[in-house]
Amino acid sequence: MTNLLITGGAGFIGSHTALVLLEAGHRLVVLDSYANSSPEALRRVAELAGPGAAARLQLIEGDIRSEHDLERAFAACSALGGKPADAVIHFAGLKAVGESVAEPLRYWDVNLSGSRQLVGAMQAHGCRTLVFSSSATLYGYPETVPIPETATIAPINPYGHSKAAVEQLLADMAASEPGWRIARLRYFNPVGAHPSGRIGEDPCGIPNNLFPFVSQVAVGRREQLQIFGGDWPTPDGSGVRDYIHVMDLAEGHRAALDVLLAEGPQLLTLNLGSGQGHSVLEVAAAFEAASGRPVPLKIVERRPGDAAITVADPSQAAQRLGWRTSRGLADMCRDGWAWQSANPDGYEA
């Protein structure tokens, strides 16, 4: 049984991954400030994971930028498992592109300084295994689609710059001493929810991403879906993205962790996506079908910084992890709707 420290584990991707890891029998300490989440998510994770799981899950409310909070989290790991943390899965961070343009300092502070502080604490505690949440946003306007990991890193906003900087920091750490086992996982567009509808994405304020927006329109919380550009060079004129079911993504983390723990020191850099593109109009139609509710649309101006088509080449992840996505757009919409319809106000209800 391994002892894992999960930063940001109360968030959307972190909570689903925590469930998969608890189900795999690991012991988890979650460090989260609840800046964009609720502890209720983890209460439900423990419930879903079944009898005895709550005893293998400990929550520490704290900030990754705080040395003191990191000390508390590493101490909790040792107390929970009787040995230091075997690995860290690092989700904590800020992720809204528009907000990052308005508040770059906050993004550099939480995403880069927070990661730097965490890596320093790992070094001090002799923990050298790390799975990091990176992003396809690193690729900026992609030169080729599907996008391989070898594509140029050319982010076009402060969020992407901060992720690129953390990727570089991790590469520098891996080069500095031989023991590091690091996976930099570049997510495409994580959506959907656990099929139970008990946990899901609960963004604070107006959602930045398509999926939570569509589901809030379907449930009647918002009037209509704005589509940014109807004249992209795509089959129906709306932007095309690679959506990945959050449960597939969670399983991708387990697979990456297993490879790092089994194989030894390395720096893995992998796209986690489906390799399939879906347009915004297709997503809206699929969500209408899954929910039985109308999703009124309005096509507005393109947003600066958007690309026409972003789709992953997921072949490296298949080869290195033996992992590929197994859930399609209809599953994403069905499970996203199960969550949204049962929890119209998120975890607040």
Ligand X SMILES: NC(=O)c1ccc[n+]([C@@H]2O[C@H](COP(=O)([O-])OP(=O)(O)OC[C@H]3O[C@@H](n4cnc5c(N)ncnc54)[C@H](O)[C@@H]3O)[C@@H](O)[C@H]2O)c1
Look up residue 224 and give its amino acid: Q
Nearer to ligand X, 53 or 96 (CB): 96
- # binding residues, ligand X (CB under 6 A): 28
Provide the β-strand partners of residue 203.
Answer: none
Q: How many residues does the chain have?
A: 349
Nearer to ligand X, 82 or 165 (CB): 165
Binding-site member from 24, 34, 58, 153 for ligand X (CB under 6 A): 34
Residue of closest CB approach to ligand X: 11
Can residue 192 be called a binding residue for ligand X (CB under 6 A)? no
Encode burial over 171-186: b for 16+ CB neighbours within 10 A, e otherwise.
eebbeeeeebbbbbbb
Judge whether 141 counts as a catalytic residue.
Answer: no
Q: Which of residues 72-91 bind ligand X (CB under 6 A)?
A: 91
237: left (phi over 0), alpha (psi -120 to 50) or beta: left
Distance separating alpha carbons of residues 63 and 98, to the nearest angstrom: 23
200 counts as binding ligand X under rule CB under 6 A: no
Which span (9-17, 220-228, 294-302, 309-317) binds ligand X, by CB under 6 A? Answer: 9-17
In sign, the C-alpha dihedral spanning 152, 158, 164, 169 is positive
The Cα 267–Cα 256 span in angstroms is: 11
Would you give the binding string for ligand X spanning residues 125-144, x where CB under 6 A is met? --------x-x---------
CA distance 278 to 157: 24
Looking at 2, 5, 6, 12, which residue binds ligand X (CB under 6 A)? 12
E-only strand ranges, 37-145: 57-61, 87-90, 129-135
CA geometry: angle at 212 spanning 331 and 257, to 5°? 65
Query: To the nearest whole angstrom, how small is the minimum distance from the Cβ of residue 333 to ligand X?
Result: 16
Measured CA to CA, the distance from residue 280 to residue 239 in angstroms comes to: 6
Applying CB under 6 A, which of residues 21, 57, 63, 210 lies at the interface with ligand X?
Answer: 63
Is the Cβ of residue 65 or residue 320 nearer to ligand X in the bound state?
65
By C-beta, is 36 or 340 nearer to ligand X?
36
Q: Quick one: 16 or 125, whose CB is closer to ligand X?
A: 16
Which residue out of 159, 187, 243, 347 is catalytically annotated? 159
Is residue 8 near ligand X by the rule CB under 6 A? yes
Does residue 10 touch ligand X according to CB under 6 A? yes
Find all residues with CB under 8 Å of 260, minimum gap 6, and list them.
Answer: 87, 129, 131, 181, 182, 183, 266, 268
Task: Pick between residue 173 and residue 250 the one whose CB is nearest to ligand X.
Answer: 250
Q: Is 190 in the site for ligand X (CB under 6 A)?
A: yes
Residue 267 binds ligand X, judged by CB under 6 A: no
Catalytic residues: 159
Instruction: Note the residues at the interface with ligand X (CB under 6 A).
Output: 7-8, 10-14, 32-37, 63-65, 91-93, 95, 110, 114, 133, 135, 187, 189-190, 209
